[in-house]
Structure 1
């Protein structure tokens, strides 16, 4: 009986240590597509040219291959320990290339929390990740009027 208990204990221990879902795994948020915010969409107005729309929104993720009058801006955020958030803006242009219609899908009222902009990734345990950053130079640059001039 004691040998059976040892075998079961060893089997359970190996299962937990082998990488099953009982042990935590590092996950990252995965943003994909064009970043689309409410501020960007609020700048769009019917009658804008395609160049003006590109200036505000950037190049579209999807253009209809046979009809360039519809542009789709899709943003998808797969949160590591949460849900998937998707935003989509579909812009339709008239034959003269002017913005005619704006359609939105998704929740644009909630702010997007993209941690990748401020974090530098996972660090080893016990190490401050900010210590790994290169230090900025504290020396002040010499103005051009005070730099030494070499004479031929």
Structure 2
């Protein structure tokens, strides 16, 4: 009779112990991880069609990615993971005219300003 009590208690205890591991997970500290180019809307608002590559680099910083064979397309990618929360990724692509090497287009998770199509004097 004493043996039957243990047989019913062992699965119950093991289930409680295993479910306790999931309760510990939120208590484990995870660092924030930021990777890539942090781009802000006020910086994107400064972009104007016809800017040189040097001017764009001054405003946004160096691009995260320039693919081989496509030097006129710059990718600004920012990936952020805050501890246990979901990751956030922001992408912004800048394209230059291959002939003039001037800024021709920009798109992504940031809106270009209404003055984007007004060249700098």
If the length of structure 2 is used for normalisation, what is the TM-score? 0.72
Alpha-carbon shift at residue 12 of structure 1 (Å): 3.0
* Structure 2 counterpart of 1:91: 94
Q: Tell me the alpha carbon deviations over residues 112-140 of structure 1, each in whole angstroms, 9 at most, x when there is no partner.
A: xxxxxxxxxxxxxxxxxxxxxxxxxxxxx
Change (3 A) 1:38 1:106: closer
* Structure 2 counterpart of 1:27: 30
Alpha-carbon shift at residue 106 of structure 1 (Å): 6.1
1:74 aligns with 2:77: yes
**Runs of at least 4 residues off by over 6 Å:** none
- What residue ranges of structure 2 are gaps of 5+ in the alignment? 112-121
Q: Which has the higher contact order (CA 8 A, sep 6+)?
A: 2
Is the CA contact (8 Å cut-off) linking 2:44 and 2:110 kept in structure 1?
A: no
Q: C-alpha separation between the residues in 1 aligned to 2:55 and 2:31?
A: 34
Aligned-pair RMSD on alpha carbons? 2.2
Larger helix proportion of the pair: 2
* Structure 2 counterpart of 1:56: 59
If the length of structure 1 is used for normalisation, what is the TM-score? 0.59
- What residue ranges of structure 1 are gaps of 5+ in the alignment? 108-152
**Aligned residue pairs, count:** 105
